[in-house]
Amino acid sequence: MALSESQIPPDAQHYLVCGIEDCERNCQFYCNPCHQPMCEQCKDEHQKSPKTKNHEVVPYRQRKHQIPVVKCSDHPTKDIDILCDECNVPLCSKCSTMHVHKGHSFTDLETIYTEKSVACRQEIQKIQTYFMPTAKTLQKEIKMDATEIKAVMDSIRSSMRDEAKTLKKLVDEVTSDNIEQVNKMEESLKEMLHSQDKTYQDYISYLEDLVKQFHGYLSSTQLQNNPIIFSLSEHLKIRPIPETTKPVPPVFTAGQYSKEDVAKLLGRVTVPDTKPENRKIKPMETAVSTQLKPTGKQRKQDREKSEVKQSLSLSLSSSVTKVREYTVPGVNRVYHVSLDKSGRLWGSDYEGNLVQTDLQGNQLQKIQTSGEYGYHTGTQDGDLIYIDKINKVINRIALDNTITEFIKTDSKPDSIHSSHINGDILVGMYGKVTRYNKKGKEIQNIQRDNKGQELYSYPIYITENINGDICTSDLVKHAVVVVNKSGQHRFSYTGQGSKFRPWGLCTDLLGHILVCDHHSDTVDLLDQDGQFLCLLLTKQQGITCPYSMCVDDENNLIVGQGISNILRMYKYLQ
């Protein structure tokens, strides 16, 4: 069953059948008076017929569009088919003869309808080819911005809580010191009072002995040598009562502070005095021109400008083949994937589920963590280390599956990578990258370039290249930031389009840098100096929302996507 003209989108590529009965050839022409689509053969016969030889037959795209059939209210047997130019009122042919329209000019309503239909279809095409795709792109950009804003705000909230914990800890330490001082004061006063108590106890004992002595004198029956007769005055010299001082207790003076005073001690969130940039809307002319095929001359110029890059791109992309795919059970979406020394996979999602699987996709163990992005990595020793973001700790899972605390960080960690060169641990944190040696001792902090500019904002994935370069995906800067092993900035890669959202990244044995572009749904391939080589994987190869990836020992690229818990494995190096 053929579609009616109103059912066919204006930009659709469809097969229109000739309208002459029993003819099923392709329609190429249109008879305007008959409103009949025709093939070339039927058109020739139509123009040869005496009855229709004067009919206007035009190419199908130049046809007049048939107006809806509407009967005239004043002349019910007549169709409305003309427009009074002076009155701007649709009329039938009989109405045009009435006195009220005498001397007026008229236009064929079908001609007007055709012109307006063409204009309307052009507007529909503009909406479908430019306005709608552009609006959807901006909408997608807004959703990505919302994700990034949430990540930044979560990090700010976390920093606030950490700062408050630090302040509380300091308050507790000062309070503890003050209480210890009070305890010492109390001990000193107690010792003084104890000494005074002993003084009076000794004096009371002396008086009691003296009383007994005098009673002895009085009860004696002997007069000879009795002190009461011969030397009483000497014995009546009683020692005076000892003098002591009354202790002066310390006084507590409460601190004078307010909520504002406490607020001054803590950091605060401010809105930068920066005018927001308008979202870039591609001009319609540019959008339309990009849909046009380049000329032979343009293609030749493009080939000459990128001959080396293009040949490398072809040699790589032509060899990309999907080897297999399998599921990581126990996770919703694969935000990060890493390999341990046994070749087993570890996959994780944004909710902190960390799962180890064998190469057949069978779950071996599952751990609940507080990580989000690139928060686990295999070590030279065959262990796996992962981030406990809430407690600011890096834990180690040994081969016997025992978990121990390995490193305590000063800031909240976000991403981690264990060097395959020397075993160092690289940790991405808000605003910096910190290097620890194999034993967990901090040995390097990377924060600024040689001009004093901040290198990092929010490094959510981190890896190391074969030359020792440290590569990070920065969620806020929208860039892959690369520094050498000394921490000197080498380059930043900001993608191939107007927007770039780097997520998971890794390197291979040739020093290539591979990075997921969450915005364009591609995997970009760079050389170790940051030169773009090609789009290794695209939507056309079935990639949607690439989030994470790693390269195994056999040069297979393993990609995790943000839409499912399915991993895909590709062979791209021969």
Domain end call among 58, 90, 111? 111
444 within some domain: yes
Q: In what order do the strands lie in the sheet with 489-493?
A: 459-464, 470-474, 479-483, 489-493
* Beta-bridge partners for 388: 393
User: Domain of 50: which CATH number?
Assistant: 3.30.160.60
At 446, the pLDDT band (50, 70, 90 cuts) reads very high
Q: What is the pLDDT averaged over residues 478-495?
A: 94
- pLDDT (0 to 100) of residue 312: 42
Here the tokens at position 139 are 């909408």
Over the Cα atoms of the chain, what is R_g? 45
Contact 539, 311 (CB under 8 A): no
Q: What is the pLDDT averaged over residues 75-94?
A: 90
DSSP code, position 127: I
187 within some domain: no
Domain end call among 50, 76, 111? 111
What pLDDT digit, counting tens, does each position of 524-574 carry? 999 999 999 999 999 888 888 899 999 988 888 999 988 888 999 998 876
**The total number of structural domains that make up the chain:** 2
516 within some domain: yes
- pLDDT (0 to 100) of residue 233: 65
Q: What is the pLDDT averaged over residues 88-113?
A: 89
- Flag the least confident range among 229-233, 394-398, 476-480, 530-534: 229-233
- pLDDT (0 to 100) of residue 516: 94
412 within some domain: yes
Query: Which range scores top for mean pLDDT: 62-66, 356-360, 422-426?
Result: 422-426
449 within some domain: yes
- pLDDT (0 to 100) of residue 87: 93
95 within some domain: yes
Report d(CA 30, CA 38) in Å as an integer.
6
Name residues whose C-beta falls within 8 Å of residue 5's C-beta, 6 or more positions apart in sequence. none
Q: What is the pLDDT averaged over residues 40-44?
A: 91
Q: Is the pLDDT of residue 433 over 90?
A: yes
- Flag the least confident range among 59-63, 189-193, 225-229, 291-295: 291-295
174 within some domain: no
Q: Is the pLDDT of residue 129 over 90?
A: no
The secondary structure of 146-182 as a DSSP string is HHHHHHHHHHHHHHHHHHHHHHHHHHHHHHHHHHHHH
Q: What is the pLDDT averaged over residues 313-327?
A: 69
Domain end call among 111, 145, 173? 111
* Beta-bridge partners for 51: none
What pLDDT digit, counting tens, does each position of 237-296 carry? 888 999 999 999 999 988 888 888 888 888 888 877 778 888 888 787 655 544 444 445
DSSP code, position 129: I
What pLDDT digit, counting tens, does each position of 381-412 carry? 888 999 998 889 999 998 888 899 999 998 89
Mean pLDDT of all residues belonging to the chain: 84
At 144, the pLDDT band (50, 70, 90 cuts) reads confident
The secondary structure of 435-484 as a DSSP string is EE-TTS-EEEEE-B-TTS-B--S-EEEEEE-TTS-EEEEETTTTEEEEE-
User: Domain of 459: which CATH number?
Assistant: 2.120.10.30
Q: Is the dihedral of CA 493, 446, 353, 572 positive or negative?
A: positive
Percent of the chain with pLDDT over 70: 88
User: Which residues form the domain of 390?
Assistant: 312-571
Here the tokens at position 263 are 């607020």
Supply the pTM of this predicted model. 0.52
465 within some domain: yes
Give φ, ψ of 432 to 5 degrees: -165, 165
- Flag the least confident range among 116-120, 368-372, 528-532, 566-570: 116-120
